[in-house]
Structure 1
Amino acid sequence: MTTAPASAAPAPPQPAPFEPMPLPRALGYIAASLVIGLTQGIAQGFISTNIPQIAGDLGATTTQASWLMAAFLIPRATMPLLLIKLRAEFGLRRFAEVAIVVYLAVALMSFAIFDLRSAIAAQFFAGMASAPLSTLAFLYILEPLPPAWKLRLGLPLSLAAISVGPHLARVISPALMGDTGWFGLHVMTLGLAAISLALVYLLPLKSPPRVKAIAPLDLVSWALISLGFGGVIVGFVIGPIRWWTDVSWLGWLLAGSLGCLTLAVMVELNRSAPLIDIRWLVSPAMLHLTITLLLFRLILSEQSSGAPRMFQALGITQGQLVPLFAVISAATVLGALALVPFMKPERVPQFHLVALVLIAAGAFMDSHSTLDTRPAQMMLSQAMIAFAGSLFMAPAMMRGLLAAMARGPNYLLSFVIVFISTQSIGGAAGSGVFSTFINHRQAYHLQVLREDLASTDPLVMHDIATRAATLLAQVPDAALTKAQAVAALAQDASGQAYVMAYNDAYLVTFLVAVAALSALLLHIWRDWLAAWWSRASSSSPLAVSPESPK
């Protein structure tokens, strides 16, 4: 049994007439959208930002605490696949109310964490509960806006609220952690969840008619896709930490994930009403969009996995990074606001051109870092990259949404799966690839530096003697001061190797952005040539119409 051809796709239903909403109530819905979007983004950022501190509170190693991030991301990436069906079957209003109540309950459950196992379980349920919040943030901002402004204003603002959350988490985490540790983060998460709960009940969403949406094979496909996505996320989160070749189960896990995704594709291809339309997803237009989203997600890993970890290796504390991430948060919001006056489907390539230029410039600036580089020196480059992220994401999602809605409501879920997989899995994969590259290049540069720092080198001996003389006033033992000087020199070499590795990664990001920019320019030039040739052919005096005498 095969999927119905594209020509047989049902026509999209006609939207209900728009009813203007009083301005105070409309502002309330927009505020609810922003609060809900920030709630789920900040909750995710709290974990990724504070893994070392959380590990200390739980009495675990940083490697063990990394499972918290994997536990949060797995349901966060897979639950939206099923939630769209649940929303259609049980109604939008009930979906919103149940989703936010579950999120509040999970936030309360976090206070019962007492060891690593309970923390992993709590983070798994937190990821599951936060999955509907992105959808709610989007729906709440669409509710009061007229049709002409739903994608033009609503989409950039809701995506900005969701994207800025992890950056804001880095801004407020140092103050919240303080002397209370992880408890302060739980209180903040609970407070945001309570505010979101109140807003959802005070400002109900309009529910379209409920329909029977869930079929038994939908659950089978969802389970297979979830297992596949989950295995990939675990592999890319844990792989760079445990190292890919040191643990055999990583290979088996990734192979099993590929097998589950293959089975899911086989099931979907042989259904008359599939959960996702595989044939549409592998069409040239959707493949182009998927590759574009995935590539951009990988490039943006420079910001989430680059600068923060480099500064951590240089001994910069979380508190010292607050101004940098405040600037990044502001640039993310400004990028979204800059889209509003100009965003149209035909301008998507122009937005992507500007975004790639900004990313390439920012990455090239970062590739000249040294041991003396501090957060203030990277504010401009990181702000450019954050601004570019907003310029890219909303237009790309608008193009995908319009393509899906033009074919019918059943195709919307297929696009949502593409967007979720490229962002959630692409984010985890980008971070994993970035960390793997850094570890490999750091080991290479450290080996080269150690060979250059031979103890017989006169310059090295002079450096050690200078350091030892400086320490001699504090430690009278000459042998001990020499040992401390050698250890300090080795530590400097290790730090230099890390900086050189990050510079290599920034340079690769720059080259990838330039390559993507060149490909986009060629694509635009090809489209322009095709349009010019079509106009020239139609206006040529040599063109003969079928009715013309021969």
Structure 2
Amino acid sequence: MDHYAPRDWQPHERPSLPGSPSTPLHSTPKRLAYALVGLLVALTGGLGNSLVIANLPYLQGALGATTAEMAWLPAAYVMTNVSMNLLLVKFRQQFGLRAFTEVFLVLYALVTFGHLFVNDLSSAIAVRAAHGMVGAALSSLGLYYMIQAFPAKWRMKALVLGLGASQLALPLARLFSEDLMQIAEWRGLYLFELGMALLTLGCVFLLKLPPGDRFKTFEKLDFLTFAILATGVALLCAVLSLGRIDWWLEAPWIGIASAASIALILAGLAIEHNRSNPLLMTRWLGSGVMIRLALAVILIRMVLSEQSTGAVGFMQALNMSSQQLHSLYVVMLLGSIAGLATSALTIDPKHLFMPLIVSLALMAVGSVMDSYSNNLTRPENMYFSQFLLAFGGTFFLGPTMVLGTRRVLTNPRNLVSFSVLFGICQNLGGLIGAALLGTFQIVREKFHSSNIVEHLTMMDPRVAARVQSGGNAVGSMIADPSLRNLQGIRSLATAATREANVLAYNDVFMLIAVIAVLTMIWISIRALWLMSTTQAVAPAPATPSVQPSGATSS
């Protein structure tokens, strides 16, 4: 549409929220087409970053970078992805969905094409930052396409599927990205990503979303707020991403960035708090309901870090290659799909706390099972536990989103605030989880390593026999007895480090289980309290004797 005045919609067509498309009736084939395009858009938006995360060690060699430098690639993506939600909602509302779709998809294709010519780390970081902005737009776009695929009575199912589809990107990327690397090394990843971007662009041009209302929403002060808050959140993301690599108390920039991020975020919120027409509804965000929702999302995302930081890291510590972990990634993907499908089929607006409690219970069980691992644990020993974690990871998403949007519908002005809150909690929850668990694993590894080394002495005949055995293993290659003995000591030290890592990861798994159980107890108590207070304030049914004239008894 070319005007800003709201259109006259039929009741079933009216957009549910400002900036969302209208929902006219579609034929069954067209609904199927919308579902397929929605799935394609959501996966395309998530695959860009997932391909990089799954192949960081290989890209590190191609770019000739250190581990700390490579950590800036996923960090740059999250830094811009989180911030863009501040502007995207208003962009859709003012310029329309068509401009939103075409601008960001063309930008995505151009940025992906630019990936092919990246030859240094700084260029790669800039491209990842651009992908973060576009990825935020594509996740919303995929959700809108999925909503078109379902009738109004199944709108919540569409919300679950549209939101959860992007969560399948990481297990998918781990499954086939190694084959892409064999095509043209790291450029094979980018060629595939470019192909997905162009395919998505073509599908979206062929099958356009229905129009929505447009409103003049942007104000000059919005951009000042965006600049301040985006910078503050970006600095916070950088600290959380690199803190455990550069180490929290050793790199001076971490302290400076932390202080600056707090100051900038508080300054941005102060500006918004005193505006007559704010971008962020700070009073609404500061309400007890929204704070509890944000905390629940962050805690659940922290628990979900078990799969990426815990299980995968544990297997890599045991020198398992990506090829050996292939079957485990298949199980994770199947668990995510099962959780998504179950959530879509069972979601009930009257019982939104139950899926959260079930998800946390499943993830707690899976984490406890993993906490009994040892150096003989192999991927097949973790199939069931990782299936439970993957299932819980997608099962909770839809109900959490519905809990928030239900409160947005009562006041559409809160839409921008909720979009920012949900996006920040999702991303920061994952970053906090990875930072906490990674740091905890390093600290516990040092603790266990110290304990093990304290008991290793050559006076112990078992230790002496182990050193001799390690030296004899290279006896055919090393003739010097002293060098053989040194090699035996090194072999024993390697085994001690491996055992310390195993014990540390078991501690990590148990910590995750504790967080999951405590979060589950908190949500359960909250749900029971709400249930009891709701019943207590419910009005008593009227009796026939006091009914007004003309009333009928139900």
Tell me the TM-score range normalised by the shorter chain: over 0.9
Give the CA deviation at 1:59. Answer: 1.2
User: Which of 257, 263, 273 is matched with 1:253 structurally?
Assistant: 257
Alignment correspondent of 1:312: 316
Q: Residue 475 of structure 2 aligns with which residue? A: 472
Contact 2:164 2:397 in 1 (8 A): no
The equivalent position to 1:39 in structure 2, one of 44, 49, 58, is 44
User: Match of 1:190?
Assistant: 194
1:501 counterpart letter in structure 2: A
Amino acid at match of 1:131: A
Maintained 8 Å contact 2:12/2:24: no
Equivalent runs, 1:61-100 vs 2, <5 Å: 61-100=66-105
SS at match of 1:271: coil
Q: Give, as a single letter, the amino acid of the residue that structure 2 aligns with 1:304.
A: S
The within-5 A match list for 1:103-114 is 103-114=108-119
Say which of 287, 295, 299 aligns to 1:295.
Answer: 299
In the TM superposition, what is the alpha-carbon distance from 1:468 to its structure 2 partner? 2.4
**For the structure 1 residues 266 and 533, does the alpha-carbon distance in structure 2 shift closer, same or farther, using more than 3 Å as the test?**
closer
Q: Which amino acid aligns with 1:169?
A: A
Residue 155 to residue 370, structure 1, CA distance change in 2 (3 Å): same
1:236 lines up with 2:263 in the alignment: no
**Cα distance in 2 for residues equivalent to 1:383 and 1:396:** 21
C-alpha separation between the residues in 1 aligned to 2:288 and 2:129? 36
Per-residue CA shift, 1:25-81, capped at 9, x if unaligned? 111111111011111211111111111110100111122111111111111111121
Check the 8 A contact 1:37/1:161 in 2, yes or no. yes
Q: Tell me, in whole angstroms, the C-alpha distance in 2 between the residues paired with 1:81 and 1:455.
A: 63
Q: Does 1:342 align with 2:339?
A: no
Unaligned 5+ segments in structure 1 are 1-12, 546-550
Counting only pairs closer than 5 Å after superposition, residues 326-341 of structure 1 correspond to structure 2 as: 326-341=330-345
The answer to whether the aligner puts 1:16 opposite 2:13 as a matched pair is: yes
Q: Deviations over 1:443-465 (max 9, x none)?
A: 11111111111232222112112
Partner deviation per Cα, 1:134-193 (whole Å, 9 max, x = no partner)? 010001111232221122x21221222100101111111111112622111001100100
Which residue is equivalent to 1:146?
Answer: 151
Displacement after TM superposition at 1:100 (Å) = 0.6
User: Alpha-carbon deviation of 1:480?
Assistant: 2.1
Cα separation, 2, equivalents of 1:231 and 1:137: 28
What's the offset of the Cα at 1:534?
Answer: 5.0
Q: Which stretch of the first structure deviates more once superposed, 126-135 or 473-482?
A: 473-482
- Out of 411, 423, 435, the position equivalent to 1:432 is 435
Asked if residue 58 in structure 1 is aligned to residue 55 in structure 2, the reply is no
- Residue 539 of structure 1 deviates from its aligned partner by 8.1
Distance in 2, Cα, partners of 1:285 & 1:69: 31
**2:494 corresponds to 1:507:** no
Following superposition, the deviation at residue 195 of structure 1 comes to 0.7
Q: What is residue 176 of structure 2 aligned with on the other side?
A: 172
**Which consecutive aligned stretches of 4+ in structure 1 deviate over 3 angstroms post-superposition?**
473-476, 527-535, 537-541
CA distance in 2, matches of 1:60, 1:524: 49
TM-score by length of 1: 0.92
Cα deviation, 1:367-386, whole Å, max 9, x if unaligned, reads 01111111111111011011
Please identify, of 196-205 and 45-54, the stretch whose mean Cα deviation from structure 2 is larger: 45-54
Q: Among 496, 501, 505, which residue is 2:499 paired with?
A: 496
Residues 43 and 168 of structure 2 are in contact (CA less than 8 Å); yes or no, is this contact kept in structure 1? yes
- 8 A contact 1:20–1:144 mirrored in 2: no
2:131 is matched with which residue: 110, 126, 140?
A: 126
Residue 35 of structure 1 contacts residue 196 of structure 1 at CA under 8 Å; is this kept in 2? yes
- Asked if the contact 2:468/2:485 (under 8 Å) is kept, the reply is yes
Quote how far apart the aligned CAs of 1:474 are.
4.4
* Equivalent pair of 1:298/1:426 in contact (CA under 8 Å): yes
Q: Pairwise mapping of residues 323-472 of structure 1 onto structure 2 (< 5 A)?
A: 323-407=327-411, 409-472=412-475
Shift of 1:533: 4.5
User: In the alignment, residue 111 of structure 1 is paired with which amino acid?
Assistant: L
> C-alpha separation between the residues in 1 aligned to 2:530 and 2:220?
44
Kindly tell me the number of residue pairs found equivalent between the two proteins. 529
Amino acid at match of 2:39: L
Deviation at 1:209, TM superposition (A): 2.6
- Provide the secondary structure at the position in 1 that maps to 2:141: helix
Identity of aligned residues (%): 32
Does 2:525 align with 1:522? yes
- What secondary structure, in the 3-state scheme, does the structure 1 residue paired with 2:24 have? coil
Is the Cα contact below 8 Å between 1:89 and 1:211 reproduced in 2? yes
Task: Give the superposition deviation at 1:334.
Answer: 1.1
> C-alpha distance in 1, partners of 2:347/2:57?
41
